[in-house]
């Protein structure tokens, strides 16, 4: 993930929506399994879903979604994702309800 916008134009985006729902407390320290998938890949936006659960117990501690919109850095208007971004994110698209 290149920091320079010229090398990675897809990084110039804004968060349109962010939602997280806390379902069960997580006490102390330990490992959490994080699941991440793509609910939607549009022309200029994409929506990720995510879930945090205990590795051993399978308890879902939190879940949510985040939507981002790619912008043109000069006009600050929505602009399409690059082919590279689309190819890299296609593998994350949720195919069924198993991800939830």
* pLDDT for res 61: 96
* pLDDT for res 97: 53
* pLDDT for res 13: 94
* pLDDT for res 100: 47
- Are the CB atoms for 81 and 10 separated by under 8 Å? yes
Q: What is the mean pLDDT of each run of 10 residues along the chain (100 residues)?
A: 78 96 90 93 97 88 97 96 94 69
* pLDDT for res 47: 97
Token pair listed for 51? 């879930």
Token pair listed for 97? 């309800």
Cα 63 from Cα 39, distance rounded (Å) = 13
* pLDDT for res 82: 96
Torsion sign (Cα): 64, 70, 74, 77: negative
Cα angle vertex 40, ends 64, 21, to 5°? 5
* pLDDT for res 1: 55
Give pTM, 2 decimals.
Answer: 0.83
Token pair listed for 66? 């985040």
């Amino acid at each position: 993930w290149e920091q320079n916008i010229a090398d990675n134009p897809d990084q110039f985006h804004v968060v349109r929506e962010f939602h997280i729902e806390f379902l069960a407390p997580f006490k102390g320290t330990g490992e959490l399994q994080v699941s991440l998938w793509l609910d939607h890949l549009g022309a200029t936006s994409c929506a990720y879903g995510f879930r945090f659960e205990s590795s051993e117990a399978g308890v879902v501690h939190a879940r949510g979604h985040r939507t981002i919109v790619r912008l043109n850095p000069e006009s600050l208007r929505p602009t399409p994702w690059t082919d590279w971004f689309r190819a890299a994110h296609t593998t994350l698209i949720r195919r069924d309800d198993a991800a939830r």
